[in-house]
Structure 1
Amino acid sequence: MKLYYHPLSGHSHRVRLFLGLIGAGHDLVEVDLSTGAHKKPEFLALNAFGQVPVLDDDGTIVTDSNAILVYLSKKLGLGDWLPETPVAAAAVQKWLSVAAGQVAYGPAAARLVTVFGAPFRPEEVITRAHALLAVVEAELSSRDFIAAALPTVADVALYSYIARAPEGNVDLQAYPKVRAWLARIEALPGFVEFRRTPVGLAG
């Protein structure tokens, strides 16, 4: 397998983290976003949206970080990471949708302001981030992981941007259960750290 990624992309890190946790061998191909490599014809042939990550599994091309998590789980038969029972599958899917929605428009957007200079309104995206974190904090009051008693791809999808939320000036101190959850993920065998950037509250 070959993963096209960028080291500061939380979406890329999602997939790198999962590949590490499941012990799947792969090669990394860094896509230089600063030079617009993701918008050049050769990369657009892999992903017409011009986004990382992209997984090339021996010629099978899978785009979108959450789709890649699902693909790997299904292909490798990882029912613990992506459960099949209706209730459990729905619980995981809900949080994959949150990762693509509230996470993307909250902590991920706040970090895009400080790391990449994105033109979002900081007060707006930081407020969204705290609204999300309050919900996650409450969810974690009754279990160790976000969708089940054990880690699933839902935890993988949420981890990267919540872990680096302070880089976007989103303080995690008011969320002890969130911080404990991050530590539990970081203690899992095969964990892959998301590169830190000294900006925002992390500066």
Structure 2
Amino acid sequence: MKLHHYPLSGHAHRAVLCLSLLGVEADLVEVDVPNRGHKTPEFLKLNPFGQIPVLEDDGVVVNDSTAILVYVATKFGRTDWLPDDLPTRAKIQKWLSVAAGEIAYGPCAARLITVFGADFRAAEVIARAHRILKLIDDELSTHPFIVGDGPTIADIALYSYIVNAPEGNVDLSPYPHVGGWLARIEALPGFVGFRKTPAGLAA
């Protein structure tokens, strides 16, 4: 199993964190994103979208971060991270969609401005980040992890861009339940952190 990643990508960190938390061994291949290594003909054969991460597993190529989480948990039968019961799976899928939607266009986009110089409207994406963080904080007021008492791949999908949201000038201090949740994830065996940059509020 081989994972193509980039240390400053939250999408890639989701995959790295998943493999580590689930105890799955994989070769980590760093893609030279600053020099457009993700746009080379060789890489585009793996992912025509030219995005990271990409997981290669014995001829199977998975080239979406949340799809990688589902693939890894399912392949190794980790029903502790992706339970079989439909109500819980539906909740997990909802939060995977949030990670690909509100998180991507909120805290992720805000960080892309400060770390990578992306052309987004800062006030708009920061406001969007605070809206979803308030909803997540409310959700976490009733249970320790996003869908219940134990961690799932939904927590992995949400973690990276929330923990580094201050790099995009998104203040996490108004969300105490989010802060506690981040600490609980970081206390899990196998946790690996997301590389930080001196940007935004973290400067």
User: Is the structural similarity TM-score above 0.5?
Assistant: yes
**Following TM superposition, by how much is the alpha carbon of 1:29 offset from its aligned partner in structure 2, in angstroms?**
0.7
Q: Aligned to 2:61, what secondary structure does the other structure show?
A: strand
Deviations 1:3-29 (A, max 9, x none): 000000000000100111011111111
Secondary structure in 2 aligned to 1:45? Answer: helix
Using the TM superposition, give the Cα deviation of residue 34 of structure 1 relative to its aligned residue in structure 2, in angstroms.
1.1
One-letter code aligned to 2:194: F
Shift of residue 111, structure 1, vs aligned partner = 0.2
- The runs of at least 4 aligned residues of structure 1 exceeding 4 Å deviation read none
Hey, what does 2:9 align to over in structure 1?
9
2:117 is the alignment partner of 1:117: yes
2:41: which partner in 1? Answer: 41
Report the counterpart of residue 149 of structure 1 in structure 2: 149
Match of 2:32 in 1: 32
Secondary structure at 2:102's aligned position in 1? helix
Cα offset for 1:59?
A: 2.0
Instruction: Please tell me the residue identity of whatever aligns with 1:91.
Output: K
- TM-score, normalised to structure 2, is 0.99
Match of 1:176 in 2: 176
**How far apart, in 1, do the equivalents of 2:11 and 2:110 lie?**
14
* Whole-angstrom CA distance in 2 between matches of 1:158 and 1:73: 16
Partner Cα distance (1:29, 1:170) in 2 = 30
Aligned length, in residue pairs: 203
What is the CA-CA distance between 1:149 and the residue it aligns to? 1.2
Aligned-residue offset at 1:83: 1.1
* Structure 2 equivalent of residue 160 of structure 1: 160
Structure 2 counterpart of 1:94: 94
Query: Tell me, which stretches of 5 or more residues in structure 1 are unaligned?
Result: none
* Other-structure match for 1:132: 132
State the match for 2:19 in structure 1.
19
> Which amino acid in structure 2 is aligned with residue 153 of structure 1?
I
Q: Which amino acid aligns with 2:134?
A: A
SS at the partner of 1:102?
A: coil
Rounded Cα–Cα distance in structure 2 between residues aligned with 1:14 and 1:113: 20
SS at match of 2:101: helix
Unaligned runs of 5+ in 2: none
CA distance in 1, matches of 2:39, 2:16: 22
Distance 1:155 1:68 in 2: 14
Q: Is 1:197 paired with 2:197?
A: yes
SS in 2 for 1:28: strand
Task: Tell me the TM-score normalized by structure 1.
Answer: 0.99
1:110, distance to aligned residue in structure 2 (A): 0.2
Question: AA paired with 1:157?
Answer: A
Q: In 1, distance between residues paired with 2:184 and 2:199?
A: 24
Aligned to 2:59: 59
- The residue identity in structure 2 corresponding to 1:175 is Y
**Could you report, residue by residue, the CA deviation over 1:12-63 in whole angstroms, capped at 9, with x for unpaired residues?**
0001001110111111111111111111110000001000000011221111
Separation in structure 1 between the aligned mates of residue 34 and residue 86 of structure 2, nearest angstrom: 42
